[in-house]
A and B are shown apart, each in its own frame.
Chain A
Amino acid sequence: ETGVTQSPTHLIKTRGQQVTLRCSSQSGHNTVSWYQQALGQGPQFIFQYYREEENGRGNFPPRFSGLQFPNYSSELNVNALELDDSALYLCASSIGSSYNSPLHFGNGTRLTVT
């Protein structure tokens, strides 16, 4: 089975621009969660998608938005990029939104905002 894949692996953007990050969930997984990991910090929950609907959101502004597609892949969109958005963005997939289903993380997308 293929694991969680994220693209691109690295990205450099300018302040004010928009960015789209992509995630392919593990086969059979219908839930995708996105986390932001700033340098030297633990991951912070952005939001979760379950069966194409947003199913929980962390303390992030509306310029962070997402989508989940019928094949359960997902996108994270960030508008009006700020310098503080520079981070590793992690996607994790699971079967359902229960804690009984462990999160399987991708290797992340490293976003640098200049």
Chain B
Amino acid sequence: AQSVTQPDIHITVSEGASLELRCNYSYGATPYLFWYVQSPGQGLQLLLKYFSGDTLVQGIKGFEAEFKRSQSSFNLRKPSVHWSDAAEYFCAVGSGANNLFFGTGTRLTVIP
């Protein structure tokens, strides 16, 4: 059965600092992997996705993620965090016909 683990419930970073959010997945076949962001009171917005090919994928808002099959990981990174990046971040793996299995999320706080 598929599962997604986001080990960090809450992360605090200073504005301008680099960011890495961890995601580990368990899935029998080649995974379809996604990162979504959710601002308070909002729905989810897709940041980036990995299906195949280059293991480093670029997304919107300056985010990138690297797929590492050997570690079953798909960590999200950003070189310099902005205050507007404060939100909840969800990693997800594709399960069935466009159904997504989400992790429990990591809440990002950005301090000035």
Q: Which residues of chain A are near B70, meaning CB under 8 Å? A: none
Query: Does B101 contact A45, Cβ atoms closer than 8 Å?
Result: yes
Contact of B104 among A40, A50, A101 (CB under 8 A): A40
Cβ A103 vs Cβ B100 within 8 A: yes
Residue numbers in A under 8 Å from B63 (CB-CB): none
Which A residues are in CB contact (< 8 Å) with B44? 43, 90, 92, 103, 105
A-B interface contact total, Cβ < 8 Å:
66
- Bits for A71-109, please: 1 = Cβ < 8 Å to B, else 0: 000000000000000000010101011111111011110
Q: Are A58 and B99 in contact (CB under 8 A)?
A: yes
Question: Contacts A43-B44, A43-B90, A56-B97 hold; do A99 and B102 have CB atoms under 8 A apart?
Answer: no
Which residue in B94, B98, B101, B105 is a CB contact (below 8 Å) of A94? Answer: B98
Interface size class of B (residues with CB under 8 A): 20 to 34
Q: Are B103 and A45 in contact (CB under 8 A)?
A: no
Write the B23-61 contact mask toward A (1 if CB under 8 angstroms, else 0): 000000000100010000111111001010000000000
Flag if A99 contacts B101 (CB, 8 Å).
no
A55 to B101, CA, bound (A): 16
Using known A-B contacts A40-B104, A42-B103, A99-B32, determine if residue A108 contacts B98 with beta carbons closer than 8 Å: no
**A55–B43 touching, CB < 8 Å:** no
- Could you tell me the distance between the alpha carbons of A101 and B32 in the complex, rounded to whole angstroms? 12
Contact with A along B70-96 (1 / 0, CB 8 A): 000000000000000000001010111
Which of B41, B42, B46, B101 is A103 in contact with, Cβ under 8 Å? B46
**B100 / chain A contacts, CB cutoff of 8 Å:** 43, 45, 103
Give the complex CA separation of A105 and B12 in angstroms: 26
Q: Which chain A residues border B92 with CB–CB below 8 Å?
A: 42
**Residues on B close to A: CB < 8 A?**
4, 32, 36, 41-46, 49, 51, 90, 92, 94-105
Closest 5 CB pairs between A and B? A42-B102, A105-B43, A97-B97, A105-B44, A97-B98
Known: A98-B97, A99-B98. 11 other contacts (CB 8 A): A33-B99, A40-B104, A41-B105, A42-B104, A43-B100, A56-B99, A96-B98, A100-B51, A103-B98, A106-B43, A107-B41
